[in-house]
């Protein structure tokens, strides 16, 4: 990863006045900010979403108690990039005009005041969670960061990090371990409760986080678990913004626009949606200034986003990786894929959604497809395809269950699931191999071998694909009881057979009539 060229002039607090006039920058007194928010999982998404909204709140006059301490739970790369820049970085909002010409809007974000690296100094992270100034502890650690079973939603007490953390109150490894042991220190110091806020793409993410924290706390200190349950808040939220991975080309482009070098800018689409339940234990900023919406119940919005934005994104990603379409906009330029996604949303996903008064679903779907077409983002399909075992249960399989419960067909959803299984072969249609990046990679490799063996024993054609699919869908940590439903297994087997025999483009062409189109 290229960071900053030798001898380059670096973005920093003392050089803010050198920025071009069009670049937004902190308009508040950074030196007077206190650290009220600790964020676990300091990746691009948090810096393009939470920090950006929090920055707007500070500009709008929020109390100077809402600075952010960002914690990297695995690597030091973000800290190493941003510490020499006084925590400053550029957020580049990228879109395109009517002729497809890319354009961007730049802002330097200033509310990230401290960056910690958990493996280097776990006690510093625990102390920050326990600090008197801390009021909110938020997390974006992706689905796999919760150390839970995706199908059941229960904490995996056998997870190596959870096993380790139960006996290491001063040196935990997992998100859950840091939260619980940090709260223990907080309670022991006689400090008040905090809000623990998940920003990950999980259904009822606040409830899930609460369940993981309490399950771990019950194992180590029941009095602590009771205090957390009665005092701390766990609001659910829905977050929506496409944030692609930053490339070296992006760094160079941002540096040219800033006139200064930024080791790690973040990119995002202009669109932003954040719906969060207004349940906080120790106050909050007025994030409405940055576009957030506070509600009594986030569940309908979570379901909307997980099933539409994330479900369609995953379907697109697995089909695209296999076909060799490297970016989302490149995939959306394929008429058959775009038509498939439009039909998947309209015919199978939208009918399962809860009522959302005031939302024009037709307009929402059209806007979503437009967002995918954004040529300025260059969002890599391989990035979206990561960690499928953790994503499919809430992105696709919950929708499958809703359709089957209503005795409705699932051809489009089955094709998306089959595309994931097809993707897990580790080689695309052109014979290019790739690694499977998934916390269950070893399990998935064994299941793949079992499925291939089952298919071989069954001969060829549809019978082989049915045996192959039966083997795959018996993987309970992902599929739960869906493998026992012959309607689901048959639909996925039919889609898998189409992908194997016709390829992605052929399967998409053949799929359209099966959806009644």
Over residues 126-142, the pLDDT tens digits come to 999 999 999 999 999 99
- Do residues 46 and 243 lie in contact, with contact meaning Cβ atoms separated by under 8 Å? no
Per-residue pLDDT tens for 269-301?
A: 999 999 999 999 999 999 999 999 999 999 999
pLDDT range class, residue 4, cuts 50, 70, 90: low
State what percent of residues in the chain have pLDDT above 90.
91
- 354: three-class secondary structure by DSSP: coil
Per-residue pLDDT tens for 345-381?
A: 999 999 999 988 889 999 999 999 999 999 999 999 9
Q: What is the pLDDT of residue 97?
A: 82
Give the Cα separation of 133 and 46 in Å (integer): 20
Question: Is residue 517's pLDDT more than 70?
Answer: no
State what percent of residues in the chain have pLDDT above 70.
97
Mean pLDDT, the chain, integer: 94
What mean pLDDT is predicted for residues 301-323? Answer: 96
DSSP states of 201-264? S-TTHHHHHHHHHHHHHHHH-HHHHHHHHHH-B---EEEE---PPP-HHHHHHHHHHHTSB-SS
Q: What is the pLDDT of residue 93?
A: 97
What mean pLDDT is predicted for residues 430-452? Answer: 96
Q: What is the pLDDT of residue 357?
A: 84
What mean pLDDT is predicted for residues 91-112? Answer: 92
- Do residues 294 and 278 lie in contact, with contact meaning Cβ atoms separated by under 8 Å? yes
What mean pLDDT is predicted for residues 437-460? Answer: 94
Q: What is the pLDDT of residue 238?
A: 95
Question: Secondary structure of 275-339 in the HEC alphabet?
Answer: EEECCCCCCCCCHHHHCEEEECCCHHHHHHHHHHHHHHHHHHHHHHHHHCCCEHHHHHCCHHHHH
pTM comes to 0.89
Q: What is the pLDDT of residue 516?
A: 41
pLDDT range class, residue 68, cuts 50, 70, 90: very high
Per-residue pLDDT tens for 159-197?
A: 999 999 999 999 999 999 999 999 999 999 999 999 999
Place of tokens 């699931």: 417
Q: Is 324 exposed, middle or buried (0-12, 13-18, 19+ CB in 10 A)?
A: middle
What mean pLDDT is predicted for residues 418-427? Answer: 97
Place of tokens 């220190």: 185
Per-residue pLDDT tens for 195-247?
A: 999 999 998 999 999 999 999 999 999 999 999 999 999 999 999 999 999 99
Question: Is residue 501's pLDDT more than 90?
Answer: yes
User: Phi then psi for 438, rounded to 5 degrees?
Assistant: -160, 140
pLDDT range class, residue 459, cuts 50, 70, 90: confident
Place of tokens 């990046």: 437
Per-residue pLDDT tens for 33-47?
A: 999 999 999 999 999
pLDDT range class, residue 3, cuts 50, 70, 90: low
Q: What is the pLDDT of residue 222?
A: 97
Give the Cα separation of 445 and 219 in Å (integer): 32
What mean pLDDT is predicted for residues 263-274? Answer: 96
Q: What is the pLDDT of residue 426?
A: 95
Question: Is residue 515's pLDDT more than 50?
Answer: no
Question: Is residue 16's pLDDT more than 80?
Answer: yes
Place of tokens 């709140």: 57
What mean pLDDT is predicted for residues 464-469? Answer: 96
Q: Is 360 exposed, middle or buried (0-12, 13-18, 19+ CB in 10 A)?
A: exposed
Residue of 421 and 99 predicted with greater confidence: 421
- Please state the separation of Cα 112 from the chain's center in Å: 20
- Do residues 369 and 332 lie in contact, with contact meaning Cβ atoms separated by under 8 Å? yes
Give the Cα separation of 285 and 293 in Å (integer): 12
């Amino acid at each position: 990863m290229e960071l900053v060229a030798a001898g380059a002039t670096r973005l920093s607090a003392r050089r803010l006045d050198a920025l071009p006039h069009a670049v937004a920058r902190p308009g508040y007194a950074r030196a007077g900010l206190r650290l009220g928010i600790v964020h676990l999982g300091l990746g691009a998404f948090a810096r393009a979403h939470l920090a950006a909204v929090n920055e707007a709140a500070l500009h709008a006059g929020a109390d100077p108690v809402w600075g952010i301490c960002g914690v990297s739970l695995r690597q030091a790369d973000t800290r190493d990039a941003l510490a020499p820049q006084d925590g400053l970085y550029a957020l580049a909002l990228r879109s395109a005009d009517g002729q497809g010409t890319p354009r961007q809007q730049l802002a330097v974000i200033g509310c990230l005041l401290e960056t910690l690296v958990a493996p280097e100094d776990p006690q510093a992270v625990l102390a920050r969670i326990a600090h008197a100034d801390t009021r909110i502890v938020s997390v974006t650690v992706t689905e796999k960061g919760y150390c839970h079973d995706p199908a059941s939603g229960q904490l995996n007490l056998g997870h190596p990090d959870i096993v380790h953390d139960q006996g290491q109150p001063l040196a935990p490894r997992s998100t859950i371990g840091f939260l619980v042991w940090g709260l223990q220190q907080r309670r022991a110091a006689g400090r008040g409760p905090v809000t623990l806020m998940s920003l990950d793409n999980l259904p009822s993410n606040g409830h899930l986080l609460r369940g993981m924290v309490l399950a771990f706390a019950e194992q180590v200190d029941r009095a602590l678990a009771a205090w957390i349950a009665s005092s701390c808040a766990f609001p659910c939220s829905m977050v929506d913004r496409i944030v692609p991975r930053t490339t070296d080309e992006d760094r160079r482009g941002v540096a040219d626009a800033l006139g200064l070098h930024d080791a790690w800018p973040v990119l995002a689409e202009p669109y932003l949606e954040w719906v969060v339940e207004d349940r906080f234990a120790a106050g909050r900023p007025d994030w409405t200034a940055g576009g957030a919406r506070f509600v009594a119940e986030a569940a309908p919005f979570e379901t909307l986003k997980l099933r539409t934005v994330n479900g369609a994104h995953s379907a697109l990603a697995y089909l695209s990786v296999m076909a060799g379409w490297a970016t989302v906009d490149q995939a959306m330029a394929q008429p058959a894929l775009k038509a498939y996604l439009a039909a998947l949303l309209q015919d199978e996903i939208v009918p399962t959604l809860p009522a959302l008064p005031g939302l024009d679903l037709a307009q929402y779907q059209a806007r979503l497809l437009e967002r995918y077409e954004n040529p300025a983002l260059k969002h890599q399909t391989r990035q979206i395809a990561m960690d499928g075992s953790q994503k499919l249960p809430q992105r696709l399989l919950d929708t499958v269950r809703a359709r089957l419960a209503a005795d409705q067909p699932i051809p489009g959803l089955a094709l998306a699931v089959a595309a994931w299984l097809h993707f897990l072969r580790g080689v695309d249609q052109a014979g290019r191999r790739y690694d499977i990046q998934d916390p269950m990679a070893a399990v998935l490799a064994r299941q793949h071998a079992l499925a291939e063996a089952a298919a071989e024993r069954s001969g060829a054609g549809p019978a082989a694909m049915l045996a192959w699919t039966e083997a795959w869908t018996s993987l309970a940590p992902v599929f739960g009881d869906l493998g026992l439903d012959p309607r689901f297994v048959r639909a996925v087997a039919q889609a898998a057979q189409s992908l194997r025999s016709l390829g992605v483009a052929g399967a998409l062409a053949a799929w359209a009539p099966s959806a009644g189109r």
